[in-house]
Amino acid sequence: MKCIILAAGYATRLYPLTKHTAKPLLKVGDQTILQHILDKVERVDEIDDIYIVTNDRFYRDFCDWVATYAGDKAIEVINDHTTSNANRLGAIADIQYVLREKDIQEDIMVLAGDNLFEFELTAFVDFYHKKQADCITVHELNDTEEIKRSGVVQVDGSGKVTDFEEKPAAPKSNLAVPPFYMYQKETLPLINQYLSAGNNPDAPGNFIPWLIQHKDVYAYTFTGMRYDIGTIESYEAVQQLFR
C-alpha cells in the first residue's frame, strides 16, 4: 500500500505565516504538522512508500525536511511544478499526478497534509480490510456553521455511503468527512476517468459523490478530535491545545 500526502496548496488564508513556509511544515507544539501525521502513518505496517506531493515553491523545503526524517518508511517528495494559487492543479489532479509519475498500481491511502487527528490510522486500515471496498472517514460534527464548510455524507446501516455533498448550504446529516481516504487499486483508473470528464479537480472530497455512482464506498466513523488548520485563528487554537 502507498500513502499520498497532499501538500501542494498555497494556504493563502494563513498569510503571512505561509507566504514562505508550507503549511504542513508549520510547527504545532514541538514538531511540524507533517511529523504529527507521519507518526500515525509509521504505525501502518502495510504502507511501504510515502509520497508527499507539493508545488515548485516549496519542493526544496520538503526535500530538506525529508532529508532529516528519522522514520522507517521510504519518503519521496513529488513536485507538481505549479508556482502559485492561480495555476495549482487541485488535490484530485495532484493524486493523479503522483499515480502517473510513480506508476502506482497498489491500494492507496490519501491524507491531507494540514489536518491533525487523534484516531489511529491502523483502525481505519482494519475497517478497510473488513469492508474490502473504498473507504472514507467521517465524524460527528454538531456545529452547524462548521459542518457547512465540510463534506457531509449520509450512510446506510452497513456504513455504505448513500449521499455526499461538499460544503452544503443545508446539511442532511451531522457526519462530516475529513480528507482521509483509502482506495483500492482497481479504483485508481477511475480517478483519471473522473478528471478526463472535466470534473472538479480541486477539493479531494469532490471525487466521492462521483465515485459512489460507480462503486460502493464505506464510511469509517472515528471518535476523538480532528483539527483542520485553515486559518490563523484555527492554527493559534491548535497551538494552545498542544501546549
Torsion angle in degrees (nearest 10) through CA of 9, 14, 19, 24: -50
In a domain, 167, yes or no: no
Whether the bond between 189 and the residue before it is cis, its omega within 30 degrees of 0, is no
In a domain, 37, yes or no: yes
Residue-level pLDDT at 229? 87
Residue-level pLDDT at 48? 95
In a domain, 143, yes or no: no
Residue-level pLDDT at 39? 96
Q: State how many domains the chain has.
A: 1
Residue-level pLDDT at 14? 85
Residue-level pLDDT at 213? 95
In a domain, 127, yes or no: yes
As averages over each run of 10 residues, the pLDDT of the chain (243 residues) reads: 96 88 93 96 97 97 96 95 92 97 97 94 97 96 84 93 90 92 98 96 92 96 88 88 78
What are residue 2's DSSP bridge partners? 49, 108
What span, in angstroms and rounded, lies between the C-alpha atoms of 154 and 89? 29
Query: What's the CATH code of the domain at 196?
Result: 3.90.550.10
Enclosing domain of residue 116 = 2-134+179-216
In a domain, 142, yes or no: no
What single letter denotes the amino acid at residue 99?
A: L
Do residues 208 and 145 make contact, with C-beta atoms less than 8 angstroms apart?
no
